[in-house]
Amino acid sequence: MARGRGVRRFAVLLLTLALVGGGIYTAVSFLQRSETLVTERCTADVGTQSAELATDQAGNAALITALAVRRGLPPRAASIALATAMQESKLRNIVHGDQAGPDSRGLFQQRPSQGWGTEAQVMDPYYATNAFYDALVKIPAYESLEITDAAQRVQRSAYPRAYAQHEDMGRSFASGLTGQTPESVRCTLRAPQEAGLPSTVESGLAAAYGPLGTVTEGDTLVVEASGSQAWSVAQWAVANAKELAVTRVDVSGRSWQRQDADGWQESDAADGQVRITVAPAGTGT
């Protein structure tokens, strides 16, 4: 009898340990899957080079690059602009300056006192970016200059070599966001908390690229584009996916899906168009 009770106690102990172990495993697995642990970020992988930005920085990078595409400027111009904005404002539209420029404002820390425009104008990312490009294209052979040298000729900073530390980031995101390197930009994001609107995506694209041929199909905006422009638009959508509640982007046989951490995957996406799908009504309710 004593031996039987011992066997039963041992069996109960094993069962208890199994339940405890299973509970711990379940808890750990849940935490690993929990979206609260997802670090939201965007990356640009070009060859062996990789760069990373926060989602708000990526959205500003996409705007700066799209305006270069709209103006017909080379990717080099976008690289210079991105490195400059990263050094000046960390790619954020800040409303304050520093000791060297107390009245500096915006993405490029442009100074109204130095003729860049009014405070309201330099705080407008579209105006500020175009003002930067207006100055850049006046520099003879700017494309052949080192990025930091070209940036300095525009900005006339007290720290002329500081832009160099952001050259790799500028090149990587410019290459992806101009569409020169397809499927290089991807973002890791949590599930959207609100529904998206194709009309909002359309307005954002028009402001950045100018008029584009678009058709709305339910929760999807279909954009007429091909070649590098298609990839530029597609990766603009990925970079803005958090703000616009984009859940899927399809272009040229590839697809980016918000819930897929592995990035771009093969799909049946047709050439000649970009399909940008947003979270449907009822999301987050």
Q: What is the pLDDT of residue 20?
A: 47
Domain residue spans in the chain? 47-177, 192-278
Are 170 and 83 a contacting pair, CB within 8 Å? yes
What residues contact residue 148 under an 8 Å CB cut-off, 6+ apart?
A: 83, 160, 161, 162, 163, 164, 167
CA distance linking residue 83 with residue 101, whole number of Å: 19
113-145: pLDDT as tens digits:
999 999 999 999 999 999 999 999 999 999 999
Q: For residue 33, name the pLDDT band (cuts at 50, 70, 90).
A: very low
What residues contact residue 130 under an 8 Å CB cut-off, 6+ apart?
A: 67, 71
For residue 214, the cross-strand partners are: 223
192-244: pLDDT as tens digits:
999 999 999 999 999 999 999 999 999 999 999 999 999 999 999 999 999 99
CA distance linking residue 250 with residue 242, whole number of Å: 17
Question: If you average pLDDT over residues 159-163, what whole number do you get?
Answer: 82
User: Phi and psi of 269, rounded to 5°?
Assistant: -60, 135
* Beta strands, E only, 30-184: 41-46, 49-53
Q: Express as a percent the part of the chain with pLDDT over 70.
A: 85
Q: Which residue has the higher pLDDT, 78 or 262?
A: 78
CA distance linking residue 242 with residue 108, whole number of Å: 23
Are 172 and 44 a contacting pair, CB within 8 Å? yes
